[in-house]
């Protein structure tokens, strides 16, 4: 009997510790948050500072403009209009955000990842070829062709993409499970980093010659 009680106590302590860890180590809302002992320079928090609730107004919870098409006149032929905490202050601490994605004919939302949120995509116009790749070592590719009314989910952190395979424009809306999910576009991050990654590193990683790597870097 004492053995069972000891096990129950141990599980209770573990559960309590996990709840404390969850309460005091929330998911990050930015790329990093470096600790500082200098109070004068400690101006950032994990997320945004909160307005006094008594000073909140309806405009804090309102955004207008998702009915307007985004400009897709760019090399990839797509445009993402984000409604995150930077655009809609009322989203702070709520753990959600929204985007509108416009695609020119054969436009693409290039392979990218959201480090802080999962994504659920709804197609409202056009036909999209979408997919995501799982982590190492399997690197499984999950793809689907979506038509208006179809929905697809991209799990948090997975590299994913959308490609307009139609001859007409396409539009989709997506919800994300973070007020600031972040986005890392793979090609831009790898070949367009600032400062540039040493070409020797990329040549080895991608099994390319340095001339090709430098050309790709010049494109970003």
Q: Which residues are annotated as a binding site for Mn(2+)?
A: 112, 114, 119, 160
Rounded to 5°, angle at Cα 96 from 22 and 145: 115
Beta bridge pairs of residue 175:
98, 120
The rounded Cα 30 to chain-centroid distance in angstroms is 11
With tokens 């690197």, the residue in question is 139
Binding-site residues: 109, 112, 114, 119, 160
CA distance 177 to 191: 28
Peptide bond into 45 cis (omega under 30): no
Residue 87: partners with Cβ closer than 8 Å, 6 or more residues away: 63
CA distance 124 to 121: 10
Binding-site residues for oxalate: 109, 114, 119
């Amino acid at each position: 009997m004492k053995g069972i009680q000891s096990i129950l106590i141990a599980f209770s302590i573990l559960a309590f510790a996990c709840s404390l860890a969850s309460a005091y180590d929330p998911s990050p809302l930015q790329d990093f948050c470096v600790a500082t002992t200098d109070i004068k320079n400690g101006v950032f928090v994990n997320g945004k500072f909160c307005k006094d609730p008594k000073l909140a107004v309806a405009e804090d919870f309102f955004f207008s403009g998702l009915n307007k098409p985004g400009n897709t006149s760019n090399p990839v032929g797509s445009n993402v209009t984000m409604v995150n905490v930077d655009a809609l202050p009322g989203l702070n601490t709520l753990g959600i955000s929204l985007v509108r994605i416009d695609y020119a004919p054969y436009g693409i939302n290039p392979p990218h990842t959201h480090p802080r949120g999962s994504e659920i995509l709804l197609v409202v116009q056009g036909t999209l070829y979408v997919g995501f790749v799982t982590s190492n070592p399997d690197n499984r590719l999950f793809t689907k062709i979506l038509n208006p009314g179809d929905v697809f989910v991209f799990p948090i952190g997975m590299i994913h993409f959308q490609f307009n395979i139609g001859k007409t424009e396409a539009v989709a809306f997506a919800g994300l499970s973070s007020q600031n999910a972040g986005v890392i576009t793979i090609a831009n991050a790898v070949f367009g980093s600032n400062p540039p990654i040493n070409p020797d590193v990329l040549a080895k990683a991608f099994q390319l010659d340095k001339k090709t790597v430098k050309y790709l870097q010049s494109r970003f």
